[in-house]
Amino acid sequence: MQDYWNKQYETDDYYFGKEPNEFFRTFIDSLPAGKILLPAAGEGRNAVYAAEVGWEVEAFDTSPKAREKALKLARERDTNLRYELQDAQSYNGPKDYFDVIAIVFLHLPAAERRAFHQKMVSCLNPNGGNLYLLAFSDEQLGQAGPGPADNSLLYSKQDIIADFKDLQIDMVQEEEVNLKEGVGHRGKAKVIKLSALRHQHEQASDTFTI
Instruction: Say if CB 132 and CB 27 are below 8 A apart.
Output: yes
Alpha carbon distances (Å) from 58 to 33, 35, 41, 153, 179: 13, 8, 9, 25, 25
Backbone angles phi, psi at 121, to 5 degrees: -60, -45
Grade residue 201 by pLDDT with cuts at 50, 70 and 90.
low
Evaluate whether residue 161 is within a structural domain.
yes
Q: What is the pLDDT of residues 6-36, one digit of tens each?
A: 677 788 889 899 999 999 999 999 999 999 9
Evaluate whether residue 151 is within a structural domain.
yes
E strands in the chain? 35-38, 56-61, 82-85, 100-104, 127-136, 168-181, 185-199
**Residue 104, strand partner residues:** 134
CATH number of residue 119's parent domain: 3.40.50.150
Whole-model pTM over 0.85: yes
Q: What is the pLDDT of residues 47-103, one digit of tens each?
A: 999 999 999 999 999 999 999 999 999 999 999 999 999 999 999 999 999 999 999
Grade residue 204 by pLDDT with cuts at 50, 70 and 90.
very low
Give me the domain span that covers residue 77.
2-199
Instruction: Say if CB 194 and CB 139 are below 8 A apart.
Output: no
